[in-house]
Amino acid sequence: MQTDSSFTFVLFGGTGDLSMRKILPALYEAHRAGMLAASGKIVAVARHEEDRASYLQWVNEHVKAHVAKSGVDENAWASFVDRIEYVKLDLGRAEDFVKLRDALQDHSGTRVFYLATGPSLFVPICHALASVGLNENARIVLEKPLGYDLRSSNAINDAVGEIFSEEQIYRIDHYLGKEPVQNLLALRFGNALFEPLWRREWVESIQITIAEELGVEARGDFYDNTGALRDMVQNHLLQLLSIVAMEPPHSMDSDSVRDEKLRVLRALKPIDPRDISKVAVRGQYHAGVIRGTSVPAYATEPGVKPDSTTETFVALKVEIENWRWAGVPFFLRTGKRLADRVAEIVVNFRAVPHSALGASALRAGANRLVIRLQPNETIRLYCLAKKPGEGMNLSSVHLDLAFDQFFKEGQMEAYQRLLLDVINGRLALFVRRDEQEAAWKWVEPILNEWAASGKPKPYAAGTWGPAAASAMLAQHGTCWLEEEN
């Protein structure tokens, strides 16, 4: 489906890593699939001394490697780069924004300003756009992190909100654009099968994991002032939790969906600082081996302070104080330099109340739904079935909800879906300000307590984090999914 109308997509940070790895590849895929209006233009903005020809050479060198596995269609690529223009812009020079305004005068349709920059530049860019009248008939996309805490987040939102209305602001969280998350909504709200089971009477626990094999790479300076709680929990993990736990919305329009997510965030049980050691584990990776390769400790990474107490791992036990989820523990986990790269949601259903088929039918985890977000996007339903042969011997089997086998269209990447939503003015998959505030309010007591306490627990790179994270689940009679076998 093609975008609704003409557009001009202005990409601040046009030479940056995010633009090369995610944004421009996503726009290329949308172009190749015929999803962009023919008149739509892409205007890359950066401070480098580039002209259009040298910028397109840079794009050719750095973007092609990040397009889909199917490779680059050279004819589609040639017509895609025809859309791209380049404007050199110094944020400190007001006349450069006049130059940008003049460059956009001949382009019709909705203007999208994507700020693929550091958050410290969000407010100056917005003020400069307003100074030359470019905030009208426009949408602005803000990348995370949006602030360091509730106060700084509010300061950015206040300043941006003076220039753009809430309906113009798109706070992006790319996990919300992933195909399995969209299918989670379809499974829950499009079928009578799952929704009656999606509650405390039938769900024993839920796990949400985002694990990375990589360390901080070249982001040591940024990460050492951020940590896993701010970088991953406050946004990605809490957004996924709210999608899993939300009530059925009235419709799929933007405010109906986000209203229900907000109710979940506001129902999160506050964590008493005195109980943080029982329900929150923080860790920091030491030297170890991942897939046969030795990797250094976090404290020796470039840009990281040798005595750093920044956490690279977080595990939390979360409770939702409402009628549907009271008493059901949600276990959240994220970390760097872990044993595998995986993002998944695991819904563990309760065992049957009585089994005439033997003890195996009563074991925890016999019935579960696993929504894998990365590296392979799949949905699996695990249940028990009889083994072939004599006797009633049960074994775990799984049903693959392989929707890609039923549809000829390939799965759309998260950024592609979200960028098309911005261009078409669809806000449902973007974070509203009150959602963001609720998440910061819940996270801040943990941040404050950790800032005043000792060092994180060590864990070897290539493992699944500190042993305390497993012990926390063991207290509730369960374990992380990879520990079962």
Alpha carbon distance 427, 413 (integer Å): 17
Residue with tokens 């990460």: 223
Would the annotation count 336 as a binding residue?
yes
Count, residues in the chain: 485
**Burial environment of residue 137 by CB neighbours within 10 A (0 to 12, 13 to 18, 19 or more):** exposed
Would the annotation count 427 as a binding residue?
no
Catalytic residue among 236, 286, 398, 476: 236
The question of whether 250 is a catalytic residue gets the answer: no
Alpha carbon distance 92, 76 (integer Å): 37
Would the annotation count 178 as a binding residue?
yes
Residue with tokens 């753009």: 164
Work out the widest C-alpha separation in the chain, in whole angstroms. Answer: 83
Confirm if 116 and 23 have CB atoms less than 8 A apart: yes
Would the annotation count 150 as a binding residue?
no
The pair of structure tokens assigned to 61 is: 């060198």
Alpha carbon distance 199, 207 (integer Å): 15
Buried b (16+ CB within 10 A) or exposed e, 139-168: bbbbbbbbbbebeebbebbeebeebbeeeb
Alpha carbon distance 305, 299 (integer Å): 6
Buried b (16+ CB within 10 A) or exposed e, 472-484: bbeeeebebbeee
Question: What are the CB-based long-range contacts (under 8 Å, 24+) for 87-93?
Answer: 87/43, 87/44, 87/45, 88/46, 88/47, 88/48, 88/49, 88/50, 89/12, 89/45, 89/46, 89/47, 90/47, 91/47, 91/121, 91/124, 91/125, 91/128
- Whether a cis peptide bond, with omega within 30° of 0, leads into 353 is no
Alpha carbon distance 456, 337 (integer Å): 15
Would the annotation count 91 as a binding residue?
yes
The pair of structure tokens assigned to 282 is: 């923080």
Confirm if 418 and 172 have CB atoms less than 8 A apart: yes
Would the annotation count 144 as a binding residue?
yes
Alpha carbon distance 336, 322 (integer Å): 32
Would the annotation count 231 as a binding residue?
yes
Q: Which residues are annotated as a binding site for NADP(+)?
A: 47, 90-91, 144
Q: Which residues are annotated as a binding site for substrate?
A: 174, 178, 212, 231, 336
Q: Which residues are annotated as a binding site?
A: 47, 90-91, 144, 174, 178, 212, 231, 336
Query: Catalytic residues, which ones?
Result: 236
